[in-house]
Amino acid sequence: MNNSVSNTARLLWAGLRALLVLTLVTGVIYPLVVTGIAQGIFPGKANGSEIKSNGQVVGSSLIGQSYNLPLKKGQETPDPDLKWFQGRPQNGLGANSINTQYKLILSGATNLSADSKVLVQQVKDAKAAVIKDNSVPGYTVEASQVPADAVTSSGSGLDPDISPAYADLQVHRIAEKNGLSVAQVQKLVDEHTDGRTLGFIGEPTVNVLELNIALKSLVTKS
Amino acid sequence: MGPVLAGVLQLLALIGALALAYIPLGNYMARVYSSDKHLRVEKWIYKGIGADPNTEMRWPAYLRSVLAFSAVGVLFLYLLQRLQGILPGSLGFSSVNPAQSFNTAVSFVTNTNWQSYYGEQTMGHVVQTAGLAVQNFVSAAVGIAVAVALVRGFARSRTGELGNFWADLVRGTIRILVPLSVVAALVLVACGAIQNFSGIHEVGQFMGGHQQWNGGAVASQEAIKEVGTNGGGYFNANSAHPFENPTPFTNLFEIFLLLVIPFALTRTFGVMVGSIKQGYAILATMATIWLGFVALMMWTEFAHHGPALQAAGGAMEGKETRIGVGASSIFAVSTTLTSTGAVDSFHSSFTGLGGGITILGMQLGEIAPGGTGSGLYGMLIMAVIAVFIAGLMVGRTPEYLGKKIGTREMKLAACYILITPALVLIFAAASMALPTPPHSMLNSGAHGFSEVLYAFTSAANNNGSAFAGLNANTDWFNTMTGLAMVLGRFLPMVFVLALAGSLAEQKPVPVTVGTLRTEKPLFTGLLVGAILIITGLTYFPALALGPLAEGLAS
């Protein structure tokens, strides 16, 4: 009995030493070396691909933002600022629930099921809003034109992109609200449309933040 | 080009990349576990451990070392979280509560990486890099070690010695996982994954004001998370988060990473048992199931049945624009057929049948190709069952790789395949029967049941993905999924190592005309059939209540 206890203790001791040594290798040296190389070769990317507009950091090209008007009195959800291109719905995003000294955004999805009544309502409401917001005099949006990404929340809630179809849909509205010609705005969208990587990887995208930055400089110039 | 064609081309590119890596990586891993030489750094590590890497262990000693190392790992990770509040480098985050700390510690040590916490608001630098990421490495290395011990059981005769656990653990970490992860992490950073220690800081926004980011060692953790088929994300959104998976290319690359070791291990197996063809037969079985599942998933996701998806005009809920439906389908199948559990899209919002495919993938036992190591040993157990079934048909004592599959071997294999379904079904049934656990469900009806079934399927099979609407951060779910993870990881290992020991003691049986040729396509067919029938019979009633009911209604 004594023998088996001391054997077990010896084995656990070996296990602990193994864990500590491997922690040093994989938990200290490995991340530090990778960080060192990453910061040396790709500092911009390693630090979050921040982008600037007029010399000010306005976010990351990888992280989606909202383009809303300030909250009005008594309002719970702000209205979108229709001057700017809008991203996808972000119903999956959460707010800090612990360690609340910070105001962190919690990435995430809605996790609502394909047969969820709540999700059906969210999609219908979003579709109605997209049609209403983007139909301007002389240009009416049909329900069949609204792509799926315009009315669904992404996996991260931070999707920086929209589909080219959703960007195209917003062109007339953006032109009207900013006093630009449709052709000018369409050209801007086309310039900011990325095809699939190597022609087949992923899906074509339009980065909303980059597009809005370009739009801002176009508006300022004209 | 349409999205369907693009999806198929991505699948072909992935297969091409895996095929290129198969032989070199498989051969390399066989050398790693067969070589007599120790690297200098390894000698230092053995000195630190105080273990002689040349001592051969019989199965009980090998098992005891696995269990001791894992037990210490759980305790260490538990304490690290419980002490987070007073540790430096923790971003001022408070300590994690006991139930959640237990769940998370068990989860990472068992290679499950089930997460009942939100990464970005819960875990500081120290716990993420020196706790969670370390277990990403070593739990994967433990899995490969146990698989290699089983392969040695087949390859060796008249001994009983299965190798040295400490040597297998250290070599797997130092020679395989670390180098692959360094390269993978740098590729990810080059594409935009973050790698810094900026902690929580403010970044300006386009419309004015600031947003707060949690910056950390994301790329280094992301790399081993996929390479080691772990799956625990730095952020709550896991590989859907643009900082973990920034581009369409990184998405495909991450799928490659999580599949490459499990598939290549069949080559390692073939080399070590002295018949490459036996490795190909196992590979063919894995690849057939994986391809079949990908095809089914793409079909159902592109068809987007279900009222909400029909209203939206596509299955984009919970999916990222840059990744799209096709690549999300490949990722979802690959992550649930391995023990990874990373997600680039949220399975709960897949079509009813698509969600069912992810659940069924895990219920197969994660063997096509499965987790690092666990996939290979799981599949070899199924091969033992398949030769037994074939033996029954012709009335001959079954053999596999020159070893008799006798009563003892079959008992161990049968225990292996019974334990996980028992855990899944008992825990899921208990959760449904008790009054409060169902309150954790987000969705109602069939999908609500699927959330619970998914949780225990994922935990007991050490996957870690979720129908994440379920609020799993309750005492019940933290404790019960924790138990399911421990029992679902280590009981099967007991049976695998016992089987390995009993095989290694045998003397080989000569091949005769009556021997079932297990390297032939006929055997692959038999094996695929056995896997599908056994899993189907076990889980059909549960699947019928959840994903099938939802899928067929829409």
Average pLDDT, chain A: 95
Cβ <8 Å between A113 and B51 = no
The residues near B524 (Cβ < 8 Å, ≥ 6 apart) are: B281, B284, B285, B288
Closest by Cβ to A21, choosing from B48, B130, B189: B48
Residue keyed to tokens 């019989």: B58
Cross-strand partners of A197:
A201
CB contact under 8 A, A28 and B185: no
> How big is the CA angle at B40 (ends B39 and B45), to the nearest 5 degrees?
95
How far apart, in Å, do the first and last CA atoms of chain B sit? 29
pLDDT digits (tens, 9 = 90+) for B123-133: 999 999 999 99
Spatial distance between the Cα atoms of B69 and B73, rounded to a whole number of angstroms: 6
What is the distance between the alpha carbons of residues B312 and B549, in angstroms, rounded to a whole number? 22
Q: Do residue A113 and residue B443 have CB atoms under 8 angstroms apart?
A: yes
Q: How far apart are CA B369 and CA B15, in angstroms?
A: 13
pLDDT category of residue A76 using cuts at 50, 70 and 90:
confident
Cα of A24 to nearest chain B Cα, Å = 8
Give me chain B's average pLDDT, please: 96
Q: Which of residues 434-473 of B touch A (CB under 8 A)?
A: 442-443, 445-447, 450, 467-469
Tens of pLDDT, residue by residue over B248-305, are 999 999 999 999 999 999 999 999 999 999 999 999 999 999 999 999 999 999 999 9
Within an 8 Å CB–CB cutoff, is residue B173 touching chain A?
Answer: yes
Residues B466/B467/B469/B470 CA torsion (nearest 10 deg): -70
Both tokens assigned to B285: 């079985």
Q: Which chain B residue shows the shortest CA-CA distance from A196?
A: B248
pLDDT for residue A212 is more than 90: yes
Q: Determine the residue among A4, A30, A217 to mutate to test chain B binding: the one whose Cβ has the most chain B Cβ atoms within 10 Å.
A: A30
Judged by CB atoms closer than 8 Å, whether chains meet at B220 and A197 is answered as no
Cβ proximity of A106 and A90 under 8 Å: no
The pair phi, psi for residue B104, each rounded to 5°, is -70, -40
Chain A residues 184-213 with a CB less than 8 Å from chain B: 196-197, 199-203, 205, 209, 212-213
Helix (H, G, I), strand (E, B) or coil at A51: strand
* pLDDT tens for each residue of B14-60: 999 999 999 999 999 999 999 999 999 999 999 999 999 999 999 99
A144 contact residues in B (CB cutoff 8 A): 313
The residues in B 382-421 lying below 8 A from A, measured between CB atoms, are: none
The span from the CA of B364 to the CA of B142, in Å, is 21
pTM across the whole model? 0.97
User: Which burial class, exposed, middle or buried, applies to A102 when counting CB atoms under 10 A from its CB (0-12, 13-18, 19+)?
Assistant: middle
Please give the share of chain B, as a percent, with pLDDT higher than 70: 100
Q: What is the ipTM of this complex?
A: 0.97
B357 touches B293 (CB < 8 A): yes
Q: Quick one: pLDDT band at residue B1, thresholds 50, 70, 90?
A: confident
Phi-psi region of B317 (alpha: psi -120 to 50; beta: other; left: phi over 0): beta
Q: What is the pLDDT of residue A2?
A: 67
Mean pLDDT of B62-77: 98
Say if B248 is an interface residue toward chain A (CB within 8 Å): yes
Q: What is the pLDDT of residue B395?
A: 87
What is the C-alpha separation between B216 and B119, in angstroms, rounded?
11
Smallest CA–CA distance from A109 into chain B, residue? B318
User: Cβ of A65 and B94 within 8 Å?
Assistant: no
Cβ density class B504-525: b for 16+ within 10 Å, e for less: bbbeeeeeeeeebebbeeebbe
Beta bridge pairs of residue B214? B200
Give B204's strand partners: B210
Summarize chain B as % helix, strand, coil (round to 5): 70, 5, 30
Sequence-separated (6 or more) residues with CB below 8 Å from residue A30: B133, B137, B178, B181, B182, B220
Q: Is the peptide bond before B369 cis (omega within 30 degrees of 0)?
A: yes
State the Cα–Cα distance between residues B340 and B143, nearest whole angstrom.
13
Say what the pLDDT of residue A1 is: 52
- Cβ-defined contact of A148 to B221 (cutoff 8 Å): no
B208 touches chain A (CB under 8 A): no
User: Can you tell me the mean pLDDT for B299-317?
Assistant: 97
For B365-405, how does the pLDDT look when each residue is reduced to its tens digit (9 = 90+)? Answer: 999 999 999 999 999 999 999 999 999 988 888 999 999 99
**Would an 8 Å CB–CB cutoff place A77 in contact with chain B?**
no
> Residue B182 pLDDT > 80, yes or no?
yes
Of B71, B73, B102, B97, the residue nearest B481 (C-alpha): B102
Residue B428 main-chain phi, psi, to 5 deg: -65, -45
